[in-house]
A and B are shown apart, each in its own frame.
Chain A
Amino acid sequence: MSLELKGITKKFGSLIANDSINLKVAKGEIHAILGENGAGKSTLMNVVYGLTQADSGSIWVDGSEVKISEPSDALNFGIGMVHQHFMLVPVFTVAENIVLGHEVSKRGILSLAEARMKIEQIAAEFKFEVNPDELIENLPVGVQQRVEIIRALMYDAKVLILDEPTAVLTPQETNELLNIMRTLKSKGTSIIFITHKLREVKEVADQITIIRLGKVVGSAKPNASEEELANLMVGRPVDLTPNVAKSKMGEITLKISNLSVSNQTGRTIVNNISLEVKAGEILAIAGVQGNGQSELVRAIMNLEENITGSIQLLGEELVGKSVHQTIHSGVAYIPESRELDGLVGTFSIAENLVLDTHGLAPFSRAGQLSASKISDTATKLKTEFDIRAQSIYDTANSLSGGNKQKVVLARELSRQVRLVVACQPTRGLDVGSIEFVHERLLVERNSGRAVLLMSTELDEVAALADRIAVIYRGEILGIVDANVSREKLGLMMAGIR
């Protein structure tokens, strides 16, 4: 089935999210739509899937014009969509989730037999490994995504829209997804692949359309270079491989010895880890998500409850201190989730910038906040960190992901800092923002601070790290030099030395 969009325009107030976009997806083609966050990719797909209506323009399926006013129309025309945030009920089984909204009942009792059969049939056809009776909450993210794909295929989707499907996946899961996409393509399914990750596009796409600021700015074949694609996407030359000149390492800044962390149920999550990070180096903690790296980092910040062992910052013991004391002994903390742990969404940018220092002079005097001092500092940091917002009084919620992260960086790096702890600092960010964050971390390193980078992105680890510590099941499997091969690193992350 082929899909064609002609002159799609969608406005939100004065903002033109889509400006007469034309797009043609052939049968059995993987068509990548590449663009930064906020370029209008998701809006376009919401139009196609019937979640919102275009102001003008038309949608053509197999050469005839169709009207899609809600998702059920899209499904009827064979258009399926897998959203970035899965629409699954965690306490339901795979089969229950798949029949949700299309339940078949026999004498008032839910019948899953048919669905189960069909799921197994699809799983076999496309080589998915999915057990229809497993609860969603027990499945890894990658498998949950497969359930979403199966759901689309169950209703005979001939065009499958994947909205940022790899944002939540580990490298292994990403590779598996790319394979699934190839299989789907070979069976004649067309795929619209929305992403901002260049490597994946080059690997799997047949045709690439690049969208910037609501307009199609170009199309490319997958043999275009990453630089070419990035330039089109961002609209200016981009440096994808930050210059990692060897830095001068200094004294040991962070010394972790025999650190163990257990969770509330008493299970050991971090098991007897010892590490050192020197001033002027970036030590990356690489590993598949869920291997204890989050807890390790949270332990350094004293955000975990049950910690044994020792964490020393320039000889000063951190274990047992409060979070406040830890922060102000010279640790910058960029948490894994900006929205959950980094920012207060309903607070203004200015308030978020002093979230850690609001209680100290000059921001607080005699128990009262100094609005002028806070706004001075916020204005200064807004310029320094290039936070794109109309005003420092805009809420953090109103910012794009990249600008949110800039607020976090601005706050954390503007303190007196000896150690930077950065967790997944570029997750979900666009190319321009990733570049900014990477440069900033290198600046920190080059100015003699120690950087502990926790990341599940191999690209990021490879681009930034001086040394790489691979974490597996709560233990450090080994510490390797930055020039180790991707294959070796991938194997280590899977627990093979």
Chain B
Amino acid sequence: MNLIQKIKKNVLIPFFAFIFAFFIGGLVIVFSDPEVMSNLKSPSKFLTTALSKIGNSYLAVFQGSIFDINLARGESFFKGFYPLSETIVTATPLILTGLAVTLAFRSGLFNIGAQGQFIFGAIGASYVGFHFDLPPVIHPIVAIITGVFLAGIYGGIVGLLKAKTGAHEVIVTIMLNYIAGFFILWVLKTSVFLRPGRIDPLAPEVNPNSRLSQFLGEDLRIHVGIFIALAAALFVWWLLKKSTLGFKFRAVGANANAARSAGISIAFVTTSTMVLCGGLAGLGGAVHVLGTEYALTNNIGGSLGFDAITVALLGGAAPLGTVIAALLFAALRTGGTTLQSNTGTPAEIIQVIQALIVLFIAAPALIKGIFRLKQSSTDKTLTAKGWNG
């Protein structure tokens, strides 16, 4: 398969889904705006106000997520990229949780549990971060390793249960998400984690030594976590494409029966996949605490673990795709706040657009029909198994 075919196969559908979602999103913006709708009697006026409304809204999203000319006009041009920095900060943990879902997909597993694994990574990193006093560089490394280790075990439980008892990973991960959610609540109330002088669930801030460096200065929140996330994506790519272990993963993901008949142990693949997925999501949690949040709260995970599923699907269960999809999602999210403050368009419209993108990706026939794309016989490897798998 040459490059052009590859691009056609992997990029065209998401691209058109994206365009179409923004188109529909524009319609929703217009029809939900009473001011524009009041011009309905005069078509020309309606059209101009509608177009300017849509234009302004999407411009605001761009300003809020990539580059803000107003900020650039101030003290330094560089500052105009503040929104982009925010987007990358938001994307960093999302890339890592997204990879945790992507990798599982490729082994034929549906990892709903990135949320819980993320929380355990955050707990581990936070504890090492505030409890110990280690030299710079060493400190974040130890904290990250602790978080990844805890989350790896947490993910591994899922794999082991599936391998030994046949318990379905979807059920197990959903349950473990609940457990993690309540576990962090409890942990934050123990004397170890409770911040002195506080009674609400809030851990002490991590030691300055353990924080991930904000390499573009204090003004921009972007931190080295993004490089860790990109390195992780590169690792997953290498694992799947080049490594012996990844070959086993893909073989089991694509046809477990044939893999088993050829001597590949399904139990081993299931367990090691889930350990690695847990580790990836946990890395996300650790990086989020050490680079962005500094203090562990019970809501540290937000919806990162669930958005990860969307991101992995949007990215076609490929590492590079996951990175791009995570950046896109983060851009929409950071842009959403500016959208509301600058134009009065509700930020929820962003969720509508996100949902539409997912819908169109999930129903490729729709996009193919609308944009008259040629039906190609796709060799899809991305298939998490159903309940009998």
Contacts and interface: CB of A to CB of B under 8 A. Distances in A.
A319 interface: no
Chain B's interface size range is 20 to 34
A369 B260 contact: no
B265 A359 contact: no
Contacts of A411: 262
Contact of B260 (A323, A325, A345, A364): A323
A355 B262 contact: yes
B258 A358 contact: no
A344 B264 contact: no
A397 B250 CA distance: 16
A103 interface: no
Interface in A317-367: 322-328, 333, 335, 340-347, 351, 355-356, 358-359, 363-364, 367
B151 to A, nearest CB: 22
B248 A359 contact: yes
B232 to A, nearest CB: 17
Contacts of B260: 303, 323
Contact of A367 (B244, B250, B258): B244
14 contacts: A303-B261, A327-B262, A333-B261, A335-B261, A341-B257, A344-B250, A351-B251, A355-B251, A355-B259, A358-B247, A367-B244, A368-B242, A369-B242, A411-B262
B245 interface: yes
Contact of B244 (A341, A355, A356, A369): A369
A344 B255 contact: yes
A344 B265 CA distance: 15
Contacts of B261: 301, 303, 323, 333, 335, 341-342
B389 to A, nearest CB: 14
A424 interface: no
A395 interface: yes
Nearest 5 pairs of A and B residues by beta carbon: A324-B263, A355-B262, A364-B244, A356-B262, A344-B255
Contacts of A355: 251, 258-259, 262, 264
Interface in A405-435: 411
- Select the residue from A342, A355, A358 with max chain B CB neighbours within 10 A: A355
A371 B250 CA distance: 16
Interface of B: 242-245, 247-248, 250-251, 254-255, 257-265, 379-381
Contact of A342 (B250, B251, B254, B258): B258
Given A351-B251, A355-B251, A369-B242, 5 more contacts: A323-B263, A326-B263, A340-B257, A369-B247, A395-B379
Contacts of B262: 323, 327, 355-356, 411
Interface of A: 301, 303, 322-328, 333, 335, 340-347, 351, 355-356, 358-359, 363-364, 367-369, 371, 395, 397, 411
B320 to A, nearest CB: 19
B254 A345 contact: yes
Contacts, number: 78
A261 B381 CA distance: 34
Contacts of A359: 244, 247-248
A359 B248 CA distance: 9
B375 to A, nearest CB: 13
Q: Which residue, B243, B245, B255, B261, has most C-beta atoms of chain A within 10 A?
A: B261
Contact of A340 (B243, B245, B258, B263): B258
B379 A343 contact: no
A328 B263 contact: yes
Contacts of A369: 242-244, 247
A365 to B, nearest CB: 9
B258 A346 contact: no
A45 to B, nearest CB: 21
Highest count of chain A CB atoms <10 Å: which of B243, B244, B245, B380: B244
A328 B263 CA distance: 9
A404 to B, nearest CB: 11
Of A343, A371, A411, which is in contact with the most chain B CB atoms at under 10 Å from its CB? A343
A69 B244 CA distance: 50
Given A355-B251, A356-B263, A343 B258 contact: yes
Contacts of A327: 262-263
Contacts of A356: 262-263
Contact of B258 (A301, A324, A344, A363): A344
A59 to B, nearest CB: 27
Nearest to A326: B263
Nearest to B251: A344
Nearest to A298: B261
Contact of A322 (B245, B250, B259, B263): B263
Contacts of A325: 263
Contacts of B245: 367
Contacts of B247: 351, 358-359, 369
